[in-house]
């Protein structure tokens, strides 16, 4: 674990442009000039609309994609420089991801016990008390080892698979966990248990989590810092309480207004239009020309315009 004031991970000016199509290439700017730091033992939530680049950021950190520009540092080491096989393996031992679609993650032909076996064999973990440790992490995520271990992935429900993924990451004792919509399929009651577990692990072991989510209430509940993305850019970031209590960017404001709240129905009159947001954001940038990213209070900054 790095010293407390050191960053576990640091992202600077990260940009990713996708090119698709050979003859008539199309360019998608998925991530544009994104910077943030992850301190040890903290949880950052990354929130934003569909297609805003959240998963792409996760994949860049995990070296599943190459950045078009910008750098990612893990404990002050440039991740782009981690290339030889041994180093890459070491990196993956410490930086792990759990992605949006639990069904695609597991090999459908492997039983659950095999999935855990593979972790031990391919990452060369210490094998002592292996069984006991597997049982412990399964219990931690509220899965019964006796029932789960002999099963194939397709015999499990969506939520059971997601918890299995979490158990796997816990077993690996990682430094940084990228959790992409990790709890999206869990009901409220199961979710809270998993989240509490995640928080405890962060606070006790100094693990850091980049928590990609769409659930603002849960984001508020567990994260120390909040990052808001809109169209590939980080439009607002900072201390969770500050961002939630004083949202400035029009996208952030809209987001907080759309949270489905039980007991209060969506306003039918104020029909929700994505174009409206586009328009509001455009106006906001126009009236704040030349300002760029500004810190409006300690640990809270906002993108006022595209310079």
Residues near ligand ATP, by CB under 6 A: 18, 20, 28, 30, 48, 50-56, 100, 154-160, 185
| Distance of closest approach, residue 249 Cβ to other proteins, in angstroms | 14
- Residue 45 interface partner, choices ligand ATP, Mg ion, other proteins, none, CB cut-off 5-8 Å depending on type: none
- Residue 125 interface partner, choices other proteins, ligand ATP, Mg ion, none, CB cut-off 5-8 Å depending on type: none
Size of the site for other proteins (CB under 8 A): 64
Rg of the Cα atoms in the chain: 20
> Which span (77-85, 126-134, 179-187, 296-304) binds other proteins, by CB under 8 A?
179-187
| Distance of closest approach, residue 299 Cβ to ligand ATP, in angstroms | 24
Among residues 184, 208, 226, 252, the one that binds other proteins under rule CB under 8 A: 184
Chain position whose Cβ is nearest to Mg ion: 55
In whole angstroms, give the CA distance from residue 232 to residue 81.
25
- Residue 272 interface partner, choices ligand ATP, Mg ion, other proteins, none, CB cut-off 5-8 Å depending on type: other proteins
Residue 32 interacts with other proteins (CB under 8 A)?
Answer: no
In whole angstroms, give the CA distance from residue 46 to residue 240.
11
Residue 290 exposed, middle or buried by CB count within 10 Å (0-12, 13-18, 19+): exposed
Q: Report long-range pairs for 295-299 (Cβ below 8 Å, ≥24 apart).
A: 296/248, 297/238, 297/242, 297/246, 298/239, 299/225, 299/238, 299/239, 299/242
In whole angstroms, give the CA distance from residue 283 to residue 278.
9
Segment 37 to 96, residues that bind other proteins, using CB under 8 A: 47-52, 55
> Which span (16-24, 67-75, 122-130, 169-177) binds other proteins, by CB under 8 A?
16-24
| Distance of closest approach, residue 141 Cβ to other proteins, in angstroms | 10
In whole angstroms, give the CA distance from residue 160 to residue 298.
41
Among residues 6, 90, 101, 131, the one that binds other proteins under rule CB under 8 A: 101
121-160 burial by CB neighbour count: b if 16+ within 10 A, else e?
eeeeeeeeeeeebbbebbebbbbebeebbeeebeebeebb
| Distance of closest approach, residue 166 Cβ to other proteins, in angstroms | 12
């Amino acid at each position: 674990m790095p010293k407390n004031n050191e960053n576990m991970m640091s992202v600077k000016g990260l940009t990713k442009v996708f090119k698709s199509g050979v003859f008539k290439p199309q360019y998608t700017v998925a991530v544009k000039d994104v910077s943030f730091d992850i301190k040890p033992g903290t949880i950052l939530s990354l929130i934003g609309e569909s297609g805003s680049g959240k998963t792409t950021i996760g994949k860049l950190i995990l070296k599943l994609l190459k950045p078009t520009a910008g750098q990612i540092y893990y404990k002050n080491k440039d991740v782009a420089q981690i290339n030889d096989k041994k180093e890459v393996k070491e990196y993956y031992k410490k930086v792990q991801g759990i992605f949006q679609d639990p069904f695609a993650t597991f090999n459908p032909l492997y039983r659950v016990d095999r999935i855990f076996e593979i972790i031990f064999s391919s990452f060369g973990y210490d094998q002592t008390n292996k069984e006991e440790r597997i049982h412990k992490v399964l219990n931690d995520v509220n899965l019964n080892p006796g029932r789960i271990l002999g099963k194939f992935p397709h015999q499990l429900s969506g939520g059971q698979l997601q918890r299995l993924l979490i158990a796997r990451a816990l077993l690996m004792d990682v430094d940084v966990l990228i959790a992409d919509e990790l709890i999206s399929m869990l009901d409220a009651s199961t979710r809270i248990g998993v989240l509490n577990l995640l928080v405890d692990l962060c606070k006790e072991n100094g693990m850091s989590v980049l928590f990609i989510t769409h659930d603002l209430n849960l984001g508020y509940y567990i994260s120390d810092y909040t990052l808001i993305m809109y169209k590939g850019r980080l439009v607002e970031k900072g201390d969770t309480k500050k961002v939630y209590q004083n949202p400035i960017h029009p996208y952030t404001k809209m987001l907080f207004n759309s949270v489905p709240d039980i007991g209060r129905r969506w306003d039918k009159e104020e029909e929700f239009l994505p174009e409206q947001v586009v328009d509001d954001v455009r106006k906001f940038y126009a009236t704040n020309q030349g300002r760029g990213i500004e810190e409006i209070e300690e640990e809270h900054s906002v993108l006022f315009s595209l310079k």
